[in-house]
Chain A
Amino acid sequence: DTAVSQTPKYLVTQMGNDKSIKCEQNLGHDTMYWYKQDSKKFLKIMFSYNNKELIINETVPNRFSPKSPDKAHLNLHINSLELGDSAVYFCASSQVPGQGSHEQYFGPGTRLTVT
């Protein structure tokens, strides 16, 4: 059973297009995240959602918008894709800190290439 799953695994698209990446977790966690990992492997948080409310929104362009239809899903929509958006995007989930768990569980990543 996959704990955190993402689709698609690979995404190749042209500049200016709009795309979405889907994420689902079956761990019953309350918080989900999106991270961007660039070519130097630096993992940087983009968003997190706790019970369908955005609680962190780092300085990412507003072309990126997270959408959470329910606690188990957090999708990432990207408008007007740019070359610099090429990276690996990871979804993750965790329990709310203070409820016994501080670790995050990561999905397998979506490798986005913008041409």
Chain B
Amino acid sequence: QKEVEQDPGPLSVPEGAIVSLNCTYSNSAFQYFMWYRQYSRKGPELLMYTYSSGNKEDGRFTAQVDKSSKYISLFIRDSQPSDSATYLCAMRDDNYGQNFVFGPGTRLSVLP
């Protein structure tokens, strides 16, 4: 089993739809959870960051972490064509310092 798993997509939705992106992981030591957005031929950029379990909202984006299920989600409300990108989840633990582990990414297309 890979350390972090993510459905690669592609996922196509109409403009205005609610998008749900998910990752599962196996390492119970992970404490910090991030979502990155990567546009084609660009570097990843941080969207959301959460610590431990719970929800965090930022504009149209909501991140959820369920540590008991080892499952994290990113919801995008009122999706826009400009949201079309690859979304990568990432996580790390407290003990291993700088080791960020990334999921393989989900490619999202929001159709106008």
Chain A residues close to B by CB (< 8 Å): 4, 31, 33, 35, 40-45, 48, 50, 55-56, 90, 92, 94, 96-97, 102-109, 111
Contacts and interface: CB of A to CB of B under 8 A. Distances in A.
A77 B81 CA distance: 39
A43 B98 contact: no
Contact of A109 (B41, B94, B99, B105): B41
A42 B4 CA distance: 11
B43 A108 contact: yes
Given A41-B104, A42-B104, A103-B34, A90 B43 contact: yes
Given A41-B86, A43-B44, A43-B88, A103 B49 contact: yes
Given A41-B86, A45-B100, A102 B42 contact: no
29 contacts: A33-B98, A33-B100, A40-B8, A40-B104, A41-B38, A41-B104, A41-B107, A42-B104, A45-B100, A45-B102, A48-B99, A50-B98, A56-B98, A90-B44, A97-B32, A97-B94, A102-B34, A102-B49, A102-B51, A103-B34, A103-B46, A103-B49, A104-B44, A104-B46, A104-B90, A104-B100, A105-B46, A106-B43, A108-B43
Contacts of B104: 40-43
Given A104-B46, A106-B43, A55 B34 contact: no
Tell me the interface secondary structure of chain A in the complex: strand
A106 to B, nearest CB: 3
Given A45-B99, A103-B46, 20 more contacts: A33-B98, A35-B102, A40-B8, A41-B104, A41-B105, A41-B107, A42-B104, A42-B105, A43-B104, A43-B105, A45-B101, A48-B98, A50-B97, A56-B99, A92-B43, A97-B32, A102-B49, A102-B51, A104-B44, A108-B43
